[in-house]
């Protein structure tokens, strides 16, 4: 067992966990943050995407101990109260999801994209997002949603 | 995944001592994308996982006085693809890193991991072979360097000893009239292992090929250095015919496995096609033209 | 502007984001794997590693001793029941025999997944291997190993009279046989001037939803059984579960959860019956979450098959006679489809063509492989690939343009379809022409670029019963309780739009709740492109009843008759000019204890719909002759549609379906070797990514003719069907290579090109 301290969505969290706990299970079952989904379990589908120290990672391939001392952002950490993050609103307005199970991962991955590149071209969006599989939308509306959110995104 | 003890040494000396102490029970972890997948499938079941993540300096990218590019083992693929120094001095490595899996893997997976994992289907090893890279290893006995094309010994096997840690890579400077290309043949979907991949680097001198490096991924049980192609190019004018003839020589040395990405004959034929195309692209990048 | 105010807000025809959107984009939406109850255990299953074997003995003793393990059960611990969506032929846990690699043999409930896995690793099962058969044609051979010894003992509901003569288990290893005949095939073939015969092979593919099957079960102190399950038809699941548990239906409550993609694959019970038996054995709530390897190796993927077509035509290209023999591999069990046969295969074997003489035989054959299930327009994608490739091949042989050949033979108004349906407002030719025009069918093409066309027809779903309950609360909000699950298609949003339209309410004032099976009206659920039509109609009835009730309330307020009150722009207007707005009526009703006001609607299918829907697609591809690689440059998808209730979600169905069809054309193949699925994770089973999608042009051929509310039709199971044929036809157009098996891989094209070079 290990004691780890992680800032999760801005809040400090301390837990004792088994050394081999995966980050996705730590979030979902130790912290109850079930917004992060597990799809393929092998780092391919992207449903479990969270930001670890600002970088998108597959939480199904990360050990929770490797987040010790770090900062994790999940889908639950994006909205401010009732105010949705512009990406969240755009995914609704532009039809960027259907069943919604890949959506937390899609939104976290696209947040990382806009953090790194606030005005991506469609080609850059596709290249960045190709690791987030969606079986419902065919991706067209995800790309539109990200473009729309980027267009409204105010410079920091 | 079976339970294990996770240890996070603070120094390289401590990490080496931990490896010695735990012997075969121990596995090193950096980004974890390879090892965690193997552990989840219970293909690898270490009693002890030794993390390198706290080792200072192992993620750095530097140029030494001799213009050798020195890259720490913990440098992520994401850093390799975006670092201005890497992009300037080893664009081939930056391009190969950009083609690895997806952004989520590239933010986690490291250079050292990609090298020591020795997966013949991966992208960085062929690029490193084409760049004449040397692998730096550290053990309690000291340091050593191994030329990358002598590093891989078999399917997922390398010369690394159980008490050794790969600490980084050194890449010698390239001549100014050098161009490179990395081609990854993905006939199924954009996120896949290559059916075949080719890294090529060509140095031109007065309209002839002064020197060339060609290496392939997914073409044999190890990343494959295609010396026979290089020998056929040296001193030749870059004609389409020369490239075709040189590329055809790779057919005799590739030894791919048949899988759903292609049969052996298909992969062999594609190796020839993509060696020729990569050489053409590298010559163009060097400012030359295939005549 | 004035007019808009007069009529109130219009919802139908407006793009609206999903009403459950805020929950889905914030991570609050709860899927089955997200359900956690106090004391909950993890259920896991040990699966067979043999394709066909007798179970000699099972030793559970070591597994039971693992700390944290609360129950370990095998088939012997369960009642002798078999489950299934129609045919009940699969046991909850194998008894005596396993019939495919991945069949569940032992299950365990433990406090952690690690403890569950450890227990399973200590289970000792002794098997005696039996001869196995993997290929459906080999399975029909006289000396093939018998997979089910007494299939006649398997129960099923009465077989409904659809699709010709159908029967179960007509001969050894055949699960179902269906034969449809019309006209006189022999006579038709005799009249034909040319006869063409081709055979096609389609591989198994997986639905590819990102949420693996998950479920949870809890038994209350009163014996009430609560189930959470990623199932699109909660009421049908309840019926099947109650039968499996041997309890009355009212003892089982299926609770609503979000569903992480369905595409036909989420209609079965999967692990949920087993989950209950684990909860019963452990006296604790249990959850079972499949991992994706289990999904790919032991889910319910699409039927693979061999499709042979024989068509007789006149020299000028008129189809006279058509024969189809469809042999599908249904895997080890037939339990995973909701009908007695693969109906869509029979229907689409005829295509949208005028064919006087036709004979279709569709077989589902047992093999020792993963059981097959439904997947988006089940039976049609396989068969349409064959039919639409075949039509191109015939056109080619006759020297006709593929579009011209189709236009000559497709149904026109007044025709009866080959299946004997009489549709009105047939827009088959218009849809084909619209696709061809948008694709510039006849414009010049660069070298190695080709265009191909494909067409498919499917009528809106009209079966079962749908229900809806609508309440007006004290805040003036309209609360719709539906028993339908929204699998992601936007059905909640469409139902909300129907309510908003009928009651002239802003969409934000309509709240859609999925009720559990205790509280919601009976609802057949999602499937067969029926929800917009059926649940939409039921909702419209409830909304109309609500409107009538509100007018009656207003009449009471005005002290007049309801005939003297009109509702316009959310205002109630008496014939003497007095007016009352919505808010005031609600306030008055609250005072007079008339709230909440509740009205229900129920809708039963009135029979097969008399209108249908067509989709025609053109693919434009470029082939790299050196490698065989195909790039799909562009797709045009033209649709014959009714009133489009929600353009945003309607388009979403077209786009998502098309990319699924693209995957099935280009990269998806559930590979099996000796009965074992070898593409066992999503790294090897290749779903299209955002980088793989073509430029897409959509054309809507509109008419207000659908059977749904406000004349809507269906859209969910259309765009996914033609892509494999359209792309294969385009490849032929580009480089002259005809592929008759899917997927269309670079290597197959490369090999064919090299062979052509050698011949020349």
Is B71 among the domain residues? yes
- Kindly report the nearest CA distance between residue C746 and chain B, in angstroms: 6
pLDDT for B112-132, tens place per residue? 999 999 999 999 999 999 999
**C8 pLDDT above the threshold of 60:** no
* Residues C267 and C338 sit within 8 Å (Cβ to Cβ): yes
**Considering only CB atoms, which chain C residues are within 8 Å of A136?**
261, 488, 652, 656
**C-alpha torsion C673→C675→C679→C682, nearest 10:** 180
Residues C734 and C675 in one domain: yes
B37 touches chain C (CB under 8 A): no
pLDDT for C218-254, tens place per residue? 999 999 999 999 999 999 999 999 999 999 999 999 9
Residues C570 and C624 in one domain: no
Q: Helices H, strands E: what count in chain A?
A: 5, 5
- pLDDT, position C73: 98
The answer to whether the CB atoms of C691 and A93 lie below 8 A apart is no
Query: In the predicted model, what is the mean pLDDT of chain B?
Result: 97
Residues B41 and B10 in one domain: yes
Residues C655 and C540 in one domain: no
Task: Give me the DSSP letters along B225-262.
Answer: E-HHHHHHHTT----HHHHHHHHHGGGGT--PPPBTTB
- Tokens of residue C123, six digits: 């289970």
The answer to whether the CB atoms of A39 and C210 lie below 8 A apart is yes
Residues C534 and C482 in one domain: yes
- pLDDT, position C9: 63
Residues B155 and B129 in one domain: yes
- Look at residues C556, C586, C604 and tell me which one is the last residue of a structural domain: C604
Nearest-CB residue to C655 (from A34, A99, A141): A141
Q: How confident is the model at residue C163 (pLDDT cuts 50, 70, 90)?
A: low
Within 10 angstroms of residue A83's Cβ, the number of other Cβ atoms is 10
* Residues C491 and C256 sit within 8 Å (Cβ to Cβ): no
- Look at residues B171, B205, B238 and tell me which one is the last residue of a structural domain: B171
The answer to whether the CB atoms of C746 and B269 lie below 8 A apart is no
Average of pLDDT values for C541-568? 97
The answer to whether the CB atoms of A139 and C659 lie below 8 A apart is yes
Peptide bond into C596 cis (omega under 30): yes
Pairing of strands B178-185, B134-139: unpaired
C678 touches chain B (CB under 8 A): yes
CA-to-CA separations, C630 to A17, B258, C750, in angstroms, rounded: 49, 21, 10
- Which of A98, A139, A145 has the highest number of chain C CBs within 10 A, making it the mutation to test binding with C? A98
Domain spans of chain A, in order of start: 2-77, 86-152
Q: How confident is the model at residue C33 (pLDDT cuts 50, 70, 90)?
A: very high
Q: What is the ipTM of this complex?
A: 0.97
CA distance C5 to C22: 29
Residues C436 and C479 in one domain: no
Residues C452 and C466 in one domain: no
Is B56 among the domain residues? no
CA distance B232 to B234: 6
Is C259 among the domain residues? no
- pLDDT, position C493: 98
Give C721's DSSP letter: S
| Catalytic residue status for C501 | no
The answer to whether the CB atoms of A138 and C209 lie below 8 A apart is no
* Residue C63, Cβ density class (10 Å: 0-12 exposed, 13-18 middle, ≥19 buried): buried
- Kindly report the nearest CA distance between residue A102 and chain C, in angstroms: 7
pLDDT for A67-85, tens place per residue? 999 999 999 999 998 899 9
- pLDDT, position C606: 80
CA distance C752 to C756: 6
- Which of A46, A53, A59, A63 has the highest number of chain B CBs within 10 A, making it the mutation to test binding with B? A63
**Considering only CB atoms, which chain B residues are within 8 Å of A2?**
6
Min mean pLDDT across A21-30, B237-246, C158-167, C243-252 is at C158-167
**Cα A51 from chain centroid?**
6
Residues B44 and B83 in one domain: no
pLDDT for B213-226, tens place per residue? 999 999 999 999 99
Which CATH number do you get for residue C589? 3.30.365.10
* Phi, psi (degrees; rounded to nearest 5) at C431: -70, -40
* Residues C709 and C638 sit within 8 Å (Cβ to Cβ): no
Nearest-CB residue to B3 (from A18, A58, A66): A18
The answer to whether the CB atoms of A131 and B103 lie below 8 A apart is yes
C218: left (phi over 0), alpha (psi -120 to 50) or beta: beta
Please tell me the total count of domains within chain C. 2
- Tokens of residue C137, six digits: 């044609």
Residues B145 and B207 in one domain: no
CA-to-CA separations, A139 to A145, B37, B57, B187, B272, in angstroms, rounded: 10, 27, 40, 20, 34
The answer to whether the CB atoms of B263 and C747 lie below 8 A apart is yes
The answer to whether the CB atoms of C25 and A91 lie below 8 A apart is yes
- Kindly report the nearest CA distance between residue C214 and chain A, in angstroms: 11
Which chains are adjacent to chain A, needing at least 3 Cβ pairs under 8 Å? Answer: B, C
Average of pLDDT values for C404-410? 98
Residues B153 and B252 in one domain: no
Is B184 among the domain residues? yes
- pLDDT, position C267: 96
pLDDT for C190-229, tens place per residue? 999 999 999 999 999 999 999 999 999 999 999 999 999 9
CA-to-CA separations, C343 to C270, C380, C713, in angstroms, rounded: 22, 9, 20
Is B291 among the domain residues? no
**Considering only CB atoms, which chain B residues are within 8 Å of A109?**
103-104
Residues C466 and C449 in one domain: no
**B241 pLDDT above the threshold of 80:** yes
Domain range for residue B143?
A: 61-171
CA distance C543 to C597: 12
CA triple C642-C344-C187, angle to 5 deg = 105
CA distance C330 to C366: 5
- Look at residues C563, C582, C604 and tell me which one is the last residue of a structural domain: C604
CB pairs under 8 A between A and C: 179
* Residue C105, Cβ density class (10 Å: 0-12 exposed, 13-18 middle, ≥19 buried): buried
Collapsed DSSP state (helix, strand, coil) of residue C289: strand
- Kindly report the nearest CA distance between residue A129 and chain C, in angstroms: 7
Residues A84, A25, C287, A106, CA torsion sign: positive
Task: Give me the DSSP letters along A42-65.
Answer: SSSS-TTEEEETTEEEETTTSBGG
Residues B68 and B164 in one domain: yes
Q: How confident is the model at residue C147 (pLDDT cuts 50, 70, 90)?
A: very high
Q: How confident is the model at residue C609 (pLDDT cuts 50, 70, 90)?
A: confident
Residues C728 and C633 in one domain: yes
The answer to whether the CB atoms of B262 and C678 lie below 8 A apart is no
Within 10 angstroms of residue C96's Cβ, the number of other Cβ atoms is 10
Domain range for residue C572?
A: 2-30+462-604
Task: Give me the DSSP letters along C523-591.
Answer: ---S-TT-HHHHHHHHHHHHHHHHHHHHHHHHHHHHTS-GGGEEEETTEEEETTS-EEEHHHHHHHHHH
Residues C445 and C561 in one domain: no
Residues B157 and B123 in one domain: yes
Tell which CATH architecture fits domain A2-77.
Answer: Roll (3.10)
Please tell me the total count of domains within chain B. 3
Peptide bond into C743 cis (omega under 30): yes
CA distance C232 to C257: 10
Which CATH number do you get for residue B206? 3.30.390.50
- Tokens of residue C758, six digits: 């050698």
Average of pLDDT values for C580-597? 94
Which one from C211, C421, C717, C757 is the annotated catalytic residue? C717
Residues C736 and C692 in one domain: yes
Residues B138 and B66 in one domain: yes
Average of pLDDT values for C281-301? 98
Which chains are adjacent to chain C, needing at least 3 Cβ pairs under 8 Å? Answer: A, B
- Kindly report the nearest CA distance between residue B94 and chain C, in angstroms: 20
Longest dimension (CA), chain C: 92
Task: Give me the DSSP letters along C466-516.
Answer: EEEEEEE-TTS-EEEEES----SSSHHHHHHHHHHHHTT--GGGEEEEE--
- Look at residues C584, C604, C624 and tell me which one is the last residue of a structural domain: C604
CA-to-CA separations, C232 to B30, B222, C236, C257, in angstroms, rounded: 42, 48, 9, 10
Question: Among residues C612, C602, C264, C605, which one has the least CA distance to residue C463?
Answer: C605
Give the bridge partners for C83, in sequence order: C90
Question: Among residues C305, C435, C472, which one has the least CA distance to residue C380?
Answer: C305
Which CATH number do you get for residue B76? 3.30.465.10
Q: How confident is the model at residue C594 (pLDDT cuts 50, 70, 90)?
A: confident
What is the CATH T-level fold of the domain A86-152, as seen in this structure? DNA polymerase; domain 1 (1.10.150)
CA triple B234-B237-B240, angle to 5 deg = 110
- Listed in sequence order, the residues at least 6 apart from A40 whose beta carbon sits closer than 8 Å to its beta carbon are A47, A60, A133, C210, C292, C681, C682, C683
| Share above pLDDT 70 across residues of chain C, in percent, rounded to a whole number | 99
Is C215 among the domain residues? no
């Amino acid at each position: 067992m290990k004691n780890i301290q992680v800032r999760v969505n801005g809040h400090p969290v301390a837990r004792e966990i088994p050394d081999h706990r995966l980050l996705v299970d730590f979030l979902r079952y130790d912290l109850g943050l079930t917004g992060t989904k597990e799809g393929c379990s092998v780092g391919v589908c992207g449903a479990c995407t969270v930001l670890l120290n600002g970088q998108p990672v597959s939480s199904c391939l990360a050990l929770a101990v490797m987040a010790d001392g770090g900062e994790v952002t999940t889908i639950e950490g994006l909205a401010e109260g009732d105010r949705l993050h512009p990406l969240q609103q755009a995914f609704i307005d532009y039809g960027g999801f259907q069943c919604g199970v890949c959506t937390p991962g899609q939104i976290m991955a696209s947040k990382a994209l806009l953090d790194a590149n606030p005005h991506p071209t469609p080609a850059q969006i596709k290249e960045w997002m190709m690791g987030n599989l969606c079986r419902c939308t065919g991706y067209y509306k995800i790309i539109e949603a990200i473009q729309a959110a980027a267009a409204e995104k105010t410079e920091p | 995944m079976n339970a294990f003890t996770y240890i996070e040494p603070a120094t390289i000396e401590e990490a080496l001592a931990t490896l010695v102490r735990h012997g075969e029970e121990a596995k090193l972890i950096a980004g974890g994308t390879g090892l965690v997948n193997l552990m989840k499938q219970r293909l690898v079941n270490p009693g002890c996982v030794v993390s390198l993540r706290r080792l200072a300096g192992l993620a750095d990218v530097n140029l030494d006085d001799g213009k050798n590019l020195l890259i720490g083992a913990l440098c992520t693929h994401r850093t390799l693809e975006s670092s201005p120094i890497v992009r300037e001095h080893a664009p081939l490595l930056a391009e190969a890193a950009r083609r690895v899996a997806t952004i989520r893997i590239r933010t986690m997976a490291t250079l050292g991991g990609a090298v020591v994992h020795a997966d013949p289907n991966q992208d960085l090893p062929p690029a490193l072979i084409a760049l004449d890279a040397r692998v730096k290893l550290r053990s309690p006995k000291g340091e050593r360097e191994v030329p990358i094309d002598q590093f891989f010994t078999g399917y997922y096997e390398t010369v690394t000893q159980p008490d050794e840690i790969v600490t980084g890579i050194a890449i010698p400077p390239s001549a100014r009239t050098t161009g490179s290309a990395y081609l990854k043949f993905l006939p199924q979907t954009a996120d896949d292992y290559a059916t075949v991949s080719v890294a090529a680097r060509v140095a031109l001198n007065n309209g002839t090929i002064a020197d060339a490096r060609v290496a392939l991924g997914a073409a044999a049980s190890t990343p494959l250095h295609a010396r026979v192609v290089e020998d056929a190019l040296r001193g030749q004018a870059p004609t389409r015919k020369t490239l075709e003839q040189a590329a055809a020589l790779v057919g005799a040395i590739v030894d791919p496995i048949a899988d759903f990405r292609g049969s052996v004959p298909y992969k062999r034929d594609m190796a020839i096609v993509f060696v020729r195309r990569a050489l053409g692209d590298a010559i163009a990048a060097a400012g030359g033209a295939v005549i | 502007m004035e007019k808009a105010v007069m009529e109130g807000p219009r919802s139908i025809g407006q793009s609206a984001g999903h009403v459950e959107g805020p929950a889905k984009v914030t991570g609050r939406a709860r899927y089955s794997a997200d359900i956690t109850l106090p004391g909950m255990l993890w259920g896991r299953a040990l699966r067979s590693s043999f394709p066909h074997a007798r179970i000699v003995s099972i030793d559970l003793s070591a597994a039971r001793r693992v700390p944290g393990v609360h129950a370990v059960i095998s088939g012997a611990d369960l009642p002798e029941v078999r489950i299934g969506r129609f045919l009940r032929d699969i046991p909850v846990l194998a008894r005596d025999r396993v019939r495919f690699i991945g069949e569940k043999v032992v299950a365990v409930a433990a406090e952690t997944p690690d403890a569950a896995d450890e227990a399973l690793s200590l289970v000792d099962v002794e098997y005696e291997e039996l001869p196995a058969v993997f290929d459906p044609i080999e399975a029909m051979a006289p000396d093939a190993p018998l997979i089910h010894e007494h299939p006649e003992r398997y129960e099923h509901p009465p077989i409904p009279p659809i699709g010709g003569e159908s029967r179960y288990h007509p001969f050894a290893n055949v699960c179902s046989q269906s034969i449809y005949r019309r006209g006189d095939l022999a006579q038709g073939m005799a009249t034909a001037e040319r006869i063409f015969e081709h055979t096609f092979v389609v591989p198994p593919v997986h639905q590819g939803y990102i949420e693996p099957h998950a479920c949870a079960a809890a038994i209350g102190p009163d014996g009430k059984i609560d189930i959470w399950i990623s199932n699109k038809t909660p009421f049908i699941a309840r019926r099947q579960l109650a039968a499996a548990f041997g309890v009355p239906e009212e003892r089982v409550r299926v609770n609503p959860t979000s569903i992480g993609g369905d595409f036909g694959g989420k209609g079965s019970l999967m692990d949920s019956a087993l989950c209950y038996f684990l909860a019963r054995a452990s006296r604790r709530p249990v959850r079972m979450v499949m991992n994706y390897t289990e999904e790919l190796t032991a889910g319910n993927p699409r039927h693979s098959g061999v499709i042979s077509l024989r068509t007789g035509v006149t020299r000028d290209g008129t189809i006279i006679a058509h024969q189809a023999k469809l042999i599908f591999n249904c895997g080890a069990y037939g339990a995973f489809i909701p009908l007695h046969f693969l109906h869509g295969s029979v229907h689409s074997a005829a295509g949208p063509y005028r064919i006087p003489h036709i004979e279709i035989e569709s077989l589902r054959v047992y093999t020792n492989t993963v059981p097959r299930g439904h997947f988006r327009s089940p039976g049609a994608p396989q068969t349409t690939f064959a039919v639409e490739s075949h039509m191109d091949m015939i056109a080619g042989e006759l020297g006709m343009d593929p579009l011209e050949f189709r236009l000559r033979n497709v149904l026109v108004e007044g025709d009866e379809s080959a299946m004997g349906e009489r549709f009105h407002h047939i827009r088959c030719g218009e849809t084909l022409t619209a696709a061809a025009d948008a694709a510039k069918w006849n414009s010049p093409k660069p070298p190695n670029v080709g265009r191909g066309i494909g067409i498919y027809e499917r009528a809106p779903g009209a079966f079962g019963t749908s229900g809806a309950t609508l309440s007006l609360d004290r805040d003036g909000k309209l609360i719709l309780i539906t028993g339908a699950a929204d699998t992601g298609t936007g059905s909640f949003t469409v139902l909300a739009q129907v309510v908003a339209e009928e009651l002239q309410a802003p969409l934000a004032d309509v709240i859609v709740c999925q009720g559990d099976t205790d509280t919601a009206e009976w609802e057949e659920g999602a499937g067969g492109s029926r929800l917009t039509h059926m649940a939409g109609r039921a909702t419209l009835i409830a909304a109309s009843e609500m409107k009538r009730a509100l007018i009656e309330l207003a009449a009471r307020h005005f002290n007049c008759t309801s005939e003297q009150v009109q509702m316009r722009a959310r205002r109630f207007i008496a014939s003497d000019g007095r007016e009352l707005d919505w808010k005031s009526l609600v306030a008055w009703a609250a005072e007079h204890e008339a709230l909440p006001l509740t009205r229900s609607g129920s809708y039963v299918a009135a029979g097969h719909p008399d209108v249908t829907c067509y989709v025609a697609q053109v693919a434009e591809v470029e082939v790299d002759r050196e490698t065989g690689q195909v790039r799909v440059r562009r797709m045009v998808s033209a649709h014959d549609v009714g009133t489009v209730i929600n353009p945003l979600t309607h388009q979403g169905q077209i786009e998502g379906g098309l990319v699924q069809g693209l995957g099935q054309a280009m990269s998806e193949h559930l590979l099996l070797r000796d009965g074992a699925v070898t593409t066992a994770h999503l790294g090897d089973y290749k779903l299209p990514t955002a980088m793989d999608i073509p430029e897409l042009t959509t054309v809507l051929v509109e008419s207000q003719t659908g059977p749904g509310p406000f004349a809507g039709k269906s859209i969910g199971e259309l765009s996914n069907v033609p892509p494999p044929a359209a792309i294969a036809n385009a490849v032929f157009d580009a480089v002259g290579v005809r592929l008759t098996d899917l997927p269309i891989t670079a290597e197959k094209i490369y090999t064919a090109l090299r062979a052509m070079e050698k011949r020349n």
